């Protein structure tokens, strides 16, 4: 960081600071993580219009040329989901949330370990990619057993997730070393947010790790005679809901700490920021049953308890909405903005990075509201597993996360490489097209879902078109198909900018594009002794992690115990 | 600098004002969350949608224990004869909880029976299981929506108020034939002479 900010720490004798060689290696590593992520997203996004056209009533999967590459709609959908939701997010976040706390704390990480982690994650990705591409793991990104994919897929996925836990370990390790070297100091806010998110992910990942390592891998290798589909689903959703916070919180880091300065203002309140992340750490995981309201053989009382905890996690997102809006308003008024909402016009709309993130927030208002609907037991049966659900998550992970990361790339690439953003105007256009495409997709899919169209179905090829014709879907189908085209244009514009930037020559000192760390209106202060009670109480992140773990065991133990006691060995099937 | 500036810069949000707004917003968020929870709970308690059985509520003939069943041995269970449970004369049979029973089997990209018929006006308990992989059971125009897992029985009780024809659609990916897994779901007018409940 080129600006001297309170969060910057002077290196101490016990803890070496970043030297030029380490910084250069770290920047290169972050670039590798980010570029690998955006290559995965590019392939996934190119498959997207095919899915949108399907829900527009146009079946493109029977074209011979496409059939050579992709055997079925379901293989295409599996690749789309795995690459966009699992690979893109995890690679970008692993680079982003290693780089930020290291720079924030100014500590020297073990770069050999960091590169080893990147290579492990990439090896896992390439391993899992083989069966995905050969149509041997067409199980979608939820891979519910007893549909049985190739063991190579489960092993590759497990290695990839394990690598993310190594990044988590390295960041927590560096943070603890910094704490020891700086007793009595308040953890700087960017580090606080990163460490809280990593610790949440460690608690969250336990379910998936147990499902894949204990159940799916031995079963797919033929070592066990079957798996219980209900227990597998329960362990999957232990991770499957908090994973969306693992995708979302790294974007929140940018909204809290960087976006205010990009908009010309200040971060609102550090205390509130810490409270939000502490709440996410404790309440993100014990909520998974809200994905299983429709599952048999689960006590309704536990479904209700998970629902209550799910609603609690809405509180830190509402706090984020407040802080983000307050900091944007502060920025706009500082630039002469007036009126109750007229100030919005004074935001720097010419800046593609800021625009991407503000549009991501706007769409997330609808996405978050839809999420509350999904989490409500009484509404869930109306929308569960209908087209409403993909409509919902394309304006959450598809914008709040993805559009924010796209916007971040516009400053992060120049910051890491010293290359200049090619064509800021095209960059700006790409984010508006993306936003428009996602809003249209969400409109069409929510609408179709309410009419009763199921998700993840090749409806355009169904032999029973009369059933869908009776739902009067002309307009929502047209909107969904159009959204696929709009998003395709958005992707071409965005990747034209990204590749032209990355392939251009290095012209500036990379550090001349700073990390846009913002000042806070209400700062936390430097020392714990002088900090507010809120800052002091949210500081012990390890204790909060322990509390999260206890809460998870309390609300999952009684759910999982009867599933173990009545374990069903159901053999695997390959039905694609 | 004793001279006041000609046009004062707009006053910016200060620490204290921000704290007031924050506290108010936190209160609003907490109240909204509480209201939401109470509202949904009221809906659950008043039965606006069919709750799924947790595996102990229904007595079955044959080896269905705690909502579990052996998918390879459905022949020994009521799932051997999918459809409404009827007596020797073909009349729907009330179970000991005062509802009719209908058994439905999902598998191989189809539902059995091929056309499900239930009477309107009487509570019917639907029992659904799968033979191969996970399926979904969604009845259009209703809020009947359940995950169907092999080895598990999803049971829910509904009363259809109006006769009519709907469709049961599989809404959980089950393989290449997933999009064709749709069947007719017919609600017949209340049978004349049948015992009216409620």
Q: H/E/C letters for each residue in A250-293?
A: HHHHHHHHHHHHHCCCCEEEHHHHHHHHHHHHHHCCCCHHHHCC
Domain range summary for chain B, segments of one domain joined by +: 14-48, 71-188
CA A6 to chain centre: 29
Q: Do A385 and A453 contact (CB within 8 A), yes or no?
A: no
- Helix ranges, chain B (H): 15-45
Name the active-site residue from A108, A455, A494, A556: A455
Q: Do A239 and A233 contact (CB within 8 A), yes or no?
A: no
Note the pLDDT of residue A226.
95
Q: In B, residues 162-181, which contact A (CB 8 Å cutoff)?
A: 167, 169-180
Residue A102 Rama label (left phi>0; alpha psi -120 to 50; beta): alpha
Percentages of chain A per state (helix, strand, coil), in multiples of 5: 70, 0, 25
DSSP secondary structure code for residue B62 in this structure: S
DSSP secondary structure code for residue B152 in this structure: B
Min distance A89 CA to chain B CA atoms (Å): 24
Cβ-Cβ contacts under 8 Å, B22 against chain A: 268-269, 272, 322
Higher per-residue confidence, A212 vs B198:
A212
d(CA B53, CA B127): 10
Cβ-Cβ contacts under 8 Å, A299 against chain B: 54
Q: Do B17 and A291 contact (CB within 8 A), yes or no?
A: no
Q: Do B44 and A458 touch (CB under 8 A)?
A: no
Note the pLDDT of residue A201.
98
Kindly state the greatest CA–CA separation across chain B.
104
Q: Do A175 and A540 contact (CB within 8 A), yes or no?
A: no
User: In this structure, what token pair is assigned to residue B5?
Assistant: 């500036």
Q: Do A384 and B22 touch (CB under 8 A)?
A: no
Question: Would you call A55 a catalytic residue per the annotation?
Answer: no
d(CA A256, CA A561): 40
Q: Do B36 and A336 touch (CB under 8 A)?
A: no
Within an 8 Å CB–CB cutoff, is residue B14 touching chain A? Answer: yes
Q: Do A171 and A198 contact (CB within 8 A), yes or no?
A: yes
User: In this structure, what token pair is assigned to residue A506?
Assistant: 């290095």
Min distance B88 CA to chain A CA atoms (Å): 31
- The C-alpha angle with vertex A11 and arms to A6 and A13, in degrees rounded to 5, equals 145
| Segments of chain A with pLDDT less than 50 | 1-8
Q: Which of A13, A99, A102, A182 has the alpha carbon at shortest distance from A539? A: A182
Q: Do B149 and A230 touch (CB under 8 A)?
A: yes
**Phi then psi for B144, rounded to 5 degrees?**
-90, 120
Q: Which of B10, B55, B132 sits opposite A297 (nearest CB)?
A: B55
Q: Which of B149, B144, B161 has the alpha carbon at shortest distance from B196? A: B161
Q: Do A452 and B173 touch (CB under 8 A)?
A: no
Q: Do B87 and B93 contact (CB within 8 A), yes or no?
A: yes
- At B22, the pLDDT band (50, 70, 90 cuts) reads confident
CA distances in angstroms from A467 to A383, A445, B138, listed in the order given: 18, 17, 13
Q: What b/e sequence results for A196-208 when a residue is b if at least 16 CB atoms lie within 10 Å of its CB, and e otherwise?
A: bbbbbbbbbbbbb
Count, residues in chain A: 576
Question: Would you call A345 a catalytic residue per the annotation?
Answer: no
The count of CB pairs under 8 A between chains A and B is: 213
- Tokens 């006041």 — which residue? B4
Q: What is the dihedral of CA B158, B161, B167, B170, to 10 degrees?
A: -20
User: In this structure, what token pair is assigned to residue B124?
Assistant: 């019917």
Cβ-Cβ contacts under 8 Å, A329 against chain B: 13
**B5: pLDDT strictly greater than 90:** no
d(CA B190, CA B182): 25
d(CA B15, CA B13): 7
Q: Do B171 and A384 touch (CB under 8 A)?
A: yes
- Tokens 């897994």 — which residue? B181
Q: Which of A298, A318, A380 sits opposite B54 (nearest CB)?
A: A298
Per-residue pLDDT averaged across B166-184, rounded? 96
d(CA A260, CA A188): 17
Note the pLDDT of residue B4.
45
Note the pLDDT of residue B3.
47
Cβ-Cβ contacts under 8 Å, A471 against chain B: 140
Number of Cβ within a 10 Å radius of residue A558 = 13
Q: B52 in helix, strand or coil?
A: coil
Q: What b/e sequence results for A4-43 when a residue is b if at least 16 CB atoms lie within 10 Å of its CB, and e otherwise?
A: eeebebeeeeebeebeeebbeebbebbbbbbbbbbbbbbe
d(CA A191, CA A541): 11
d(CA A265, CA A256): 11
Number of Cβ within a 10 Å radius of residue A526 = 16
Q: Do A158 and A127 contact (CB within 8 A), yes or no?
A: no
Cβ-Cβ contacts under 8 Å, B150 against chain A: 146, 229, 568, 570
Mutate to test the interface with B, among A294, A373, A569 (most CBs of B within 10 A): A294
Note the pLDDT of residue A7.
43
Q: Which of B142, B144, B143, B169 has the alpha carbon at shortest distance from B154? A: B144
Q: How do strand B123-130 and strand B164-169 relate by DSSP bridges? A: unpaired
Name the active-site residue from A108, A182, A241, A446: A241
Residue B193 Rama label (left phi>0; alpha psi -120 to 50; beta): left
**B2: pLDDT strictly greater than 50:** no
Question: Would you call A455 a catalytic residue per the annotation?
Answer: yes
Name the active-site residue from A33, A55, A61, A245: A245
Min distance B153 CA to chain A CA atoms (Å): 7
**pLDDT digit string (tens) for A10-47?**
555 568 889 999 999 999 999 999 999 999 999 999 99
Mutate to test the interface with A, among B74, B144, B171 (most CBs of A within 10 A): B171
Min distance B190 CA to chain A CA atoms (Å): 25
Q: Do A157 and B143 contact (CB within 8 A), yes or no?
A: no
- Is residue B182 within a helix (H) or strand (E), and if so which, with residue range? strand B182-188
Number of Cβ within a 10 Å radius of residue A67 = 11
Residue A168 Rama label (left phi>0; alpha psi -120 to 50; beta): alpha
CA A529 to chain centre: 35
Mutate to test the interface with B, among A457, A467, A535, A562 (most CBs of B within 10 A): A457
Q: Do A292 and B152 touch (CB under 8 A)?
A: no
d(CA B92, CA A550): 50
Cβ-Cβ contacts under 8 Å, B10 against chain A: 333-334, 336
Q: Do A294 and B68 touch (CB under 8 A)?
A: no
Q: Which of B132, B143, B150 sits opposite A382 (nearest CB)?
A: B143
Question: Would you call A472 a catalytic residue per the annotation?
Answer: no
d(CA A394, CA A391): 6
CA A147 to chain centre: 26
- The C-alpha angle with vertex A284 and arms to A279 and A286, in degrees rounded to 5, equals 115
- CATH fold, domain B71-188, is Immunoglobulin-like (2.60.40)
CA distances in angstroms from B75 to A462, B70, B129, B130, listed in the order given: 31, 10, 13, 13
Q: Do B19 and A269 touch (CB under 8 A)?
A: yes
Number of Cβ within a 10 Å radius of residue A439 = 20
Within an 8 Å CB–CB cutoff, is residue B150 touching chain A? Answer: yes
Question: Would you call A446 a catalytic residue per the annotation?
Answer: no
Min distance A526 CA to chain B CA atoms (Å): 17
Mutate to test the interface with A, among B38, B45, B53, B134 (most CBs of A within 10 A): B134
Min distance B101 CA to chain A CA atoms (Å): 17
Q: Which of A80, A91, A95, A160 has the alpha carbon at shortest distance from A128? A: A160
Question: Would you call A291 a catalytic residue per the annotation?
Answer: no
Q: Which of A344, A320, A315 has the alpha carbon at shortest distance from A332? A: A344
CA A318 to chain centre: 18
Cβ-Cβ contacts under 8 Å, B144 against chain A: 381
Beta strands in B35-181 (DSSP E): 83-84, 100-107, 110-112, 115-119, 123-130, 135-139, 144-148, 154-159, 164-169
Within an 8 Å CB–CB cutoff, is residue B83 touching chain A? Answer: no
Beta strands in A479-562 (DSSP E): 520-522
d(CA A112, CA A95): 15
Cβ-Cβ contacts under 8 Å, A384 against chain B: 138, 145, 171
Question: Would you call A182 a catalytic residue per the annotation?
Answer: no
**pLDDT digit string (tens) for B64-101?**
888 999 999 999 899 999 999 998 888 899 988 899 99
Note the pLDDT of residue B19.
85
Q: Do B155 and B53 contact (CB within 8 A), yes or no?
A: yes
Number of Cβ within a 10 Å radius of residue B112 = 18
Q: Do B37 and A307 touch (CB under 8 A)?
A: yes
């Amino acid at each position: 960081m080129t600006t001297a900010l309170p969060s910057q720490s002077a290196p101490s004798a016990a803890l070496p600071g970043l030297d030029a060689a380490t910084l250069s290696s770290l920047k290169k590593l972050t670039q590798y993580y980010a570029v690998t992520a955006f290559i995965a997203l590019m392939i996934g996004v190119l498959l997207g219009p095919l899915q949108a056209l399907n829900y527009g009533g146009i079946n493109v999967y029977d074209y011979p040329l496409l059939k050579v590459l992709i055997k079925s709609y379901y293989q295409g959908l599996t690749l789309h989901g795995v690459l966009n939701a699992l690979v893109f997010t995890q690679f970008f976040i692993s680079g982003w949330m290693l780089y930020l706390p290291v720079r924030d704390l100014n500590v020297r990480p073990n770069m050999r370990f960091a590169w080893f982690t990147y290579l492990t994650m990439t090896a896992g990705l390439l391993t899992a990619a083989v069966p995905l591409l050969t149509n041997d793991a067409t199980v979608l990104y939820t891979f519910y057993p007893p549909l049985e994919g190739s063991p190579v897929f489960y092993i590759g996925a497990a290695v990839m997730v394990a690598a993310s836990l190594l990044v988590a370990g390295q960041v927590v390790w560096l943070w603890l070393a910094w704490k020891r070297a700086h007793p009595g100091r308040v953890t700087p806010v960017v580090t606080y947010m990163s460490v809280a998110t990593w610790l949440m992910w460690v608690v969250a990942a336990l379910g998936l790790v147990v499902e894949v390592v204990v159940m799916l891998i031995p079963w797919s290798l033929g070592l066990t005679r079957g798996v219980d589909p209900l227990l597998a689903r329960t362990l999957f959703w232990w991770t499957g809901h908090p994973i969306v916070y693992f995708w979302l919180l790294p974007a929140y880091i940018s909204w809290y700490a960087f976006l205010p300065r990009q908009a010309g203002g200040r971060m609102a309140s550090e205390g509130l920021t810490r409270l939000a992340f502490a709440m996410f750490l404790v309440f993100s995981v014990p909520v998974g049953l809200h994905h299983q309201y429709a599952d048999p053989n689960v006590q309704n009382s536990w479904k209700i308890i998970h629902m209550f905890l799910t609603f609690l996690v809405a509180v830190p997102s509402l706090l984020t909405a407040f802080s983000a809006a307050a900091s944007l308003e502060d920025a706009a008024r500082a630039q002469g903005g007036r009126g109750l909402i007229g100030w919005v016009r004074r935001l720097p709309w010419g800046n593609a990075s800021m625009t991407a993130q503000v549009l991501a927030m706007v769409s997330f208002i609808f996405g978050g509201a839809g999420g509350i609907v999904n989490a409500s037991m009484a509404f869930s049966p109306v929308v569960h597993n209908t087209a409403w659900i993909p409509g919902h998550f394309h304006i959450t992970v598809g914008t709040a996360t993805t559009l924010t990361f796209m916007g971040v790339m516009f400053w992060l690439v120049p910051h890491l490489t010293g290359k200049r953003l090619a064509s800021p105007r095209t960059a700006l256009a790409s984010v508006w097209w993306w936003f428009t495409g996602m809003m249209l997709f969400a409109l069409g899919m929510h609408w179709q879902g309410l009419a009763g169209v199921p998700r993840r179905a090749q409806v355009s090829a169904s032999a029973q078109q009369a059933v869908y014709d009776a739902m009067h879907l002309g307009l929502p189908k047209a909107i969904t198909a159009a959204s696929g085209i709009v998003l395709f244009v958005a992707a071409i514009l965005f990747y034209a900018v990204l590749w032209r930037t990355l392939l251009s020559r290095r012209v500036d000192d990379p550090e001349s594009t700073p990390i846009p760390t913002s000042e806070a209106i209400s700062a936390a202060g430097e020392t714990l002794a002088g900090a507010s009670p809120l800052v002091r109480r949210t500081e012990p992140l390890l204790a909060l992690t322990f509390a999260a773990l206890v809460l998870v065991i309390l609300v999952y133990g009684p759910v999982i115990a009867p599933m173990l006691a009545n374990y069903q060995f159901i053999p695997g099937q390959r039905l694609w | 600098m004793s001279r006041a500036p000609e046009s004062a810069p707009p006053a910016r949000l200060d620490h204290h004002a921000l704290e007031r707004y924050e506290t108010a917003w936190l209160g609003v968020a907490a109240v909204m969350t509480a209201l939401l929870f109470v509202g949904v709970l009221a809906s659950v308690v008043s039965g606006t949608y069919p709750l799924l059985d947790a595996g102990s509520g229904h007595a079955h003939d044959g080896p269905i224990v705690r909502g579990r069943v052996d998918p390879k041995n459905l022949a020994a269970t009521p799932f051997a004869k999918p459809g409404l449970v009827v007596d020797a004369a073909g009349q729907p049979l009330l179970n000991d909880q005062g509802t009719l029973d209908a058994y439905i089997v999902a598998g191989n990209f189809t539902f059995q029976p091929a056309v499900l018929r239930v009477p309107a006006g009487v509570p019917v308990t639907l029992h659904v299981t799968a033979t191969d992989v996970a399926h979904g059971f969604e009845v259009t125009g209703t809020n009947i929506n359940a995950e169907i897992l092999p080895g598990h029985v999803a049971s829910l009780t509904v009363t259809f108020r109006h006769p009519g024809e709907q469709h049961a659609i599989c809404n959980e990916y089950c393989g290449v034939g997933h999009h064709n897994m749709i069947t007719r779901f017919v609600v017949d007018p209340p049978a004349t002479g049948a015992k009216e409940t409620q």
